[in-house]
Chains A and B, each alone.
Chain A
Amino acid sequence: MNIDQTKPLEYGTHKNEMNILGFWIFLGAEIMLFATLFTSYFIYENRIGSGPSGAEIFEITPVLIETIVLLTSSFTIGLAINAMRLNRTKATLWFLAITLVLGATFLSVEIYEFIHYYHIGVTLQTSGFTGILLTTLGTHGAHVTFGLFWGIAIFLQIKKRGLTLETANKSFIYSLYWHFLDVMWIFIFSFIYLKGMM
């Protein structure tokens, strides 16, 4: 295996480079997925039937908490990758752990939000609007959930094997995924919540 010493560890081999390019292409597909969901959301936004509208159900507090927590986690995963580049395994693990805790916090608040919706009678079945709202939020939430398990797997692998060509490559790809979820959340925050509350 040819290891290119001039590049960061995660780009060290041809295989690693291909993994990263492949993941960027995957993110392209993910952008299309969320773009379709957002388009659908805009189409159903005012199709509320006899159910409530966004302005009636959105509450700023939990949404703000979710936003702050997720944005912070994007910062900490950035720090984790920075620590990885400096070859500091322990710091990498710590920042990764903080990221995962923040991700779990985000998810807990989102689950609380969903339970709240359920109690005020907003479910998938209420109207076209609530259906697509919960589908879009749910798809994002499912991505975060998947990301948490993925992150735990990577945490364990770094702990066991240290920062190798493989684990560095996986961590870097994971950070791309995590940043991507954050970007999608910014769109959700702006175009679903803020727009809905206006």
Chain B
Amino acid sequence: MEFFERFALPHPDPMIYASMVAIVVVSIAIVAGLTYFKKWGYLWNEWLTTTDHKRIGIMYLISALLMLFRGGADAVMMRIQLSSPEMEFLNAQHYNEVFTTHGVVMIFFMAMPFVIGLMNYIVPLQIGARDVAFPRLNALSFWMFFAGAMLFNISFVVGGSPDAGWTNYFPLAGNEFSPTVGVNYYMWALQISGLGTLMTGINFLVTIFKMRAPGMKLMKMPMFTWSALITNVIIIFAFPVLTVALLMGTLDRQFGTALFTTGSGGMDMYWANLFWVWGHPEVYILILPAFGIYSEIISTFSQRNLYGYKSMVGSMVLISLLSFFVWVHHFFTMGQGALTNSIFSITTMAIAIPTGIKIFNWLLTMWKGKIRFTVPMLYSVAFIPLFTVGGVTGVMLAMASADYQYHNTMFLVAHFHNTIIPGVVYAMLAGLTYWWPKMFGFKLNERIGKWAFWFNVIGFVLAFFPMYLTGLDGQARRMYTYSESTGFGPMNMIAFVGAGLFAIAFILIAYNVFYSFKHSPRNIGDDPWNGRSLEWATHNPVPAYNFAIEPEVESSQAFWDHKQKKHNLFKGKISKIHMPNNSGIPIIMAGILFVFGFSFVFSIWPAVIIAAVAFFACMIYSSFENDQGRYISEQEIKETEAKFGGDSK
């Protein structure tokens, strides 16, 4: 029986059992539904085996939204627990698990797939390509992310969640202080999805370097594509560091090495260094695409060219370089001495300069523009002041000596949420709303969208600004409760109310999808927002081959100049188009990796070996397979184009 005891929950709770039941019921419902409506074939042929960048993008977005609700539920639980002094909603152990999974899910399984999903859908369209460079690898990247996400998400019902924080500092995360399998889950879930992300990085760099439409020089690329390019460069350089850190962590926990221990020559502070050498660039992996999205939206809805194109690109390059030289600011208090702290203090503050340039460029883009306050634009406008507050508190935290006061307090928590939510999350919501018609052929309802926006902004401010105050007063992060005499009660109650409004905003957004699907008009044309870049030069929703005729570009505002200056985008004529075949290999390989990761977490070595062999067998099979792709015939393209109203684009 010892074998099965490993899978038992170390800290059971009625809520977790309820979740188990819910998971089983929902799984049965999905399987039964698919069988009843005979949708298995459709699901397998059209989605699970697809190599189409657009469908993979949509699957990323769906996963990201699901994870947003999972991570959001964690957040609400934490806010309930802290809403008043001596609350007994969660105990210390559960609070540890909840803040850990909240952080990991939101960063790795919500923000990352959201960013990569939008990149997947939009970047090939913006550069006038028919797919990414390696479509099958792209599918493998997605399924590896998905396998990692699922592995992480089953941790709380099988064996117990990780509970050492999303930063997972050793020696707390070592066997001595984290004896359950939770941290093993952390290691393997991140390892598997992280390798998937690395492959995405390779894929998009080659796509952007080699597949741009004729005439699109690098300095004529839309800003979102520029941000994707720089982001993927950061991915290539940052993610291998995480791979090594996770490998070393796994060795320590499961093979008894002495790397991050305090004895036998171990170095307990080294994990924090490795983690943040990856972790700080990771922050910019999330925010740079967000900057790209804001640039697109602000320019479109101000109906002006983006102000300072070159300085926008230059500042992103500068940010990406600086992002590798600031990691020590995450642990100024760890004792590396005044000189080291001073250097990292200065590099950190330096990041404010290129970021400031971007802020002014956006403001100047709006200056004298004919601004239309649509939902995406509202998010972008709210982003500027809110993000600036987050940035300025970041500079406060960057002062090493003052940091001794703020370190690991709620002030820090307020700061990074203040940058991530108005920075990344608003950008994702804005981008999703902006490109929604591109993906599905109808707009999201503006009225509900605006309600959601106001709930979002007011909820955010109420939820996080009080934390600045309690943090300065000394409320530590990751403490599951506080006494009444601290006086933190009222502010935390306000934060709880804010979290509630924030939650309502996301429910409204989900409702908006449902409402718009039923009621939104479908006859919105190909260019509903009066767009500027190439993605609007094709149909809504986009046909499988993206562009019937390969576009030829003359300026950075290719589609705008096509409309305004009558640049001819489509000079060629329709001919057959080469497309990649679907393949079941990526999802099968990711499934094998899931088994591999799960078996590794529980040290079931025979299964680990079998899964590893199966994985390499898939690679060999793939290598020997002779897949030349398929062609869409001229006839078929003409028929599809005719359906969209005749004017072949």
Contacts and interface: CB of A to CB of B under 8 A. Distances in A.
Chain A contact residues, majority secondary structure: helix
A17 B251 contact: no
B414 interface: no
B484 to A, nearest CB: 46
Chain A contact-residue range equals: 35 or more
A81 to B, nearest CB: 19
A48 interface: yes
A29 B256 contact: no
Interface string B177-201: 0000000000000000000001001
A128 B472 CA distance: 39
A51 B264 contact: yes
Nearest to B205: A25
Interface string B202-229: 1101100111000000000000000000
B256 A125 contact: yes
Contacts of A125: 255-258, 264
B202 A26 contact: yes
Contacts, number: 111
B203 A124 contact: no
A33 B242 CA distance: 9
B241 interface: yes
B240 A29 contact: yes
A29 B239 contact: yes
A135 B270 contact: no
A156 B623 CA distance: 11
A132 interface: yes
A128 B620 CA distance: 36
Interface in B603-626: 616, 620, 623-624
Nearest to A128: B265
B209 to A, nearest CB: 6
Contacts of A28: 236-237
A135 B206 contact: no
B133 to A, nearest CB: 5
A50 B258 CA distance: 12
B263 interface: yes
Size bracket, chain B contacts = 35 or more
B206 A25 contact: yes
A131 interface: yes
A50 B261 CA distance: 14
A165 to B, nearest CB: 11
A145 B562 CA distance: 54
Interface stretch (A37-45, A103-111, A177-185): A37-45
Nearest to A31: B240
Nearest to A136: B244
B266 interface: yes
A82 interface: no
A40 B258 contact: no
Given A33-B240, A36-B240, A127 B258 contact: yes
A113 interface: no
Contacts of B255: 124-125
Contact of B264 (A22, A36, A128, A149): A128
B265 A129 contact: yes
A49 B258 contact: yes
B247 interface: yes
Contacts of B248: 40, 132, 135
A129 B624 CA distance: 42
Given A33-B243, A47-B265, A21 B258 contact: no
Interface in B249-302: 251, 255-259, 261, 263-267, 270, 274, 277
B517 interface: no
B134 interface: yes
A128 B210 contact: no
B328 to A, nearest CB: 15
Contacts of B265: 44, 47-49, 51, 127-129
A26 B206 CA distance: 11
Contacts of A40: 244, 248, 270, 274
Interface string A98-121: 000000000000000000000000
Nearest to B266: A128
A18 B210 contact: yes
Contact of B259 (A32, A36, A128): A128
A110 to B, nearest CB: 19
Contacts of A129: 265
A24 B109 CA distance: 28
Contacts of B261: 128
Contacts of B203: 22
A159 interface: no
A129 B205 CA distance: 37
A149 B202 contact: no
Interface of A: 1, 14, 17-18, 21-22, 25-26, 28-30, 32-33, 36-37, 40, 43-44, 47-51, 124-129, 131-132, 135, 139, 149, 153, 156-157, 170
13 contacts: A17-B210, A22-B206, A28-B237, A29-B236, A36-B241, A36-B277, A49-B266, A124-B257, A125-B264, A131-B257, A153-B623, A156-B624, A170-B623
8 smallest A-B Cβ distances: which pairs?
A128-B265, A47-B265, A49-B265, A49-B264, A32-B240, A33-B240, A131-B257, A127-B265
Interface of B: 133-134, 198, 201-203, 205-206, 209-211, 236-241, 243-245, 247-248, 251, 255-259, 261, 263-267, 270, 274, 277, 578, 616, 620, 623-624
Given A32-B237, A126-B264, A157-B624, 7 more contacts: A14-B210, A21-B206, A30-B240, A33-B243, A44-B265, A124-B255, A128-B265
